[in-house]
Structure 1
Amino acid sequence: MHRTKHFRVCGFGIILLMACSPGCGTQKRFNSQNQTDERVPATLIYAEGWTDIALVANWAKTSLDHLGHFFTTRNACGKDEAGAISIEHWNKLATAINQVVADEAAAEEYCIPLPEGRSRYMDGTAEVVLSNGKKLALMDSTRGTGGCSKIKNRATAEVVFETLNELVVVADKEGCSVLPY
């Protein structure tokens, strides 16, 4: 009986110690109450009115959620892969998509050249899934070297095309140590 009590007290003490101790690595996270974690950006743009972007390009289906995480059905090594885009890339894309969602569509579709460089991989379509579940086309580049869209503001359309192209490149490289290019 005496051993059982000792074990219960010791076991309770160990559990209490574990519960009260800081988590791994968190003790150096903040040096004072006025300092913040340097890994969190000062400004983070949130998705407003949309939840996902669905992209078909580079022989893959890639989805990007409203937190900057993506999943692609085919990276450069031909495998499914998931990852996240950088905060800078996310903020640029989220700002542009927020603007697209807030604006009305242009009356006429127009086409603009895709970004220089690896734009040949932007050979498909992209649409944003709105918070109400409806889909809004962002671009269609299946008709040639340019991307066609009804995004009202052309400067915003260029940012969308550029950042989606960057997303395709990031998804292509994710989890693939030997790139074919």
Structure 2
Amino acid sequence: MTTQRQQRATEETWMFPPADGWTFDQVKHLELPFDWDLVDGVIVVRGQTKFWHNRVRDRIARALEDAAATPYEVVLEQCVMLDNQNVVKPDVIVFDPRKLDLFELECVPVDEVSLAVEVVSPGSRHDDRILKPALFAETKVPCYWRVELDRDKRLAVHEYWQHAETRTYIPAPMHPVHHDKLSTELPFPVEIDLAALLEF
């Protein structure tokens, strides 16, 4: 007899998780008309993004890729496996691919992620400011960037480093918030002209 845990979600049942939640294996096959994350065994719909968000995301990824030192790789919107019931897609990640089979890879194991970047949009404020930093810090992702667009249409990048003892993020000591230009040494030396990211 098939147990509830063994059942796969369908396009009709994904919004009704079992009592102990879905696992990634139960939902990864779904073809839903929206992007989603799996958080505590529940499928969470990811909001629609605007043009500026996608352009900034893409240009940050390009700048990181240009600056990346061996062995790092940079990828957009690749799912990260925090555990079997928490699988999320940051806007950009930097990771170490040396232990991974990139031809078979579905999700990057969180242990290999060095930086997660989220570009905040109106539909993702809570997740990007509170939920995802907590998840990434708890699972020991060393660095997190939160990219915000202010009312004057200027970018600010909030840089966080993981505190090893508390497993929470703290503002980067030298430059907790970057305006105009981002310059940091972690996870590798990189400089990004933030104003140029919004030149359309």
Q: When the two structures are superposed, what TM-score results if normalisation uses the length of structure 2?
A: 0.28
Structure number having the greater strand percentage: 2
Q: When the two structures are superposed, what TM-score results if normalisation uses the length of structure 1?
A: 0.30
With a CA cutoff of 8 Å and minimum separation of 6, indicate the structure with the bigger relative contact order: 1
Structure number having the greater helix percentage: 1
Structure whose CA Rg is larger: 1
